[in-house]
Amino acid sequence: MAWRLGVRKGDQVKVIGGRDKGKRGRVLSVNPGKDTCTVEHVNMVKRHTRPNPAKQIKGGIVEREGPIHASNVQLVCSSCSKTTRVRHQFLADGSKVRACQRCGATLDH
Ligand SMILES: [Zn+2]
């Protein structure tokens, strides 16, 4: 469940552990099964790719984001721009949204 991870695709997060500690970025993808996520420009890893002309792939070294453990990132509120924890809130229509624990701003749009 993505709820447990606390972060979702598109969220702003701050890296609080590992090689890229202190960096901020947008979550590109989450892997709830492994409790990992990839964050823009964080944990860049070099991938060696083989050329595959049929798929128009050029060979060489490509840099891309590697997965980091979800416990190494903290959500950044888009409203108060501080790292925060998520509070779950129910709207009048019964739907569940995530809200910033500091300022109360709704994080789901
Ligand atoms: Zn906030």
> Is the predicted pLDDT of residue 109 greater than 80, yes or no?
no
65 Cα to the center of ligand 1, angstroms: 27
- The model carries a pTM of 0.81
Residues with CB under 5 A from ligand 1 (ion): 77, 79-80, 100, 102-103, 105
DSSP collapsed to 3 states, 16-84: CCCCCCCCEEEEEEEECCCCEEEECCCCEEEEEECCEHHHCECCEEEEEECCEEHHHEEEECCCCCCEC
Q: Which pLDDT tens digit goes with each residue over 19-52? A: 999 999 999 999 989 999 999 999 999 988 889 8
Chosen CATH of 2-76 out of 2.30.30.30, 1.10.240.10, 3.30.460.10, 2.60.40.10: 2.30.30.30
First to last CA, the chain: 19
85 Cα to the center of ligand 1, angstroms: 9
Give start-end residues of each CATH 2.30.30.30 domain in the chain: 2-76
5 Cα to the center of ligand 1, angstroms: 18
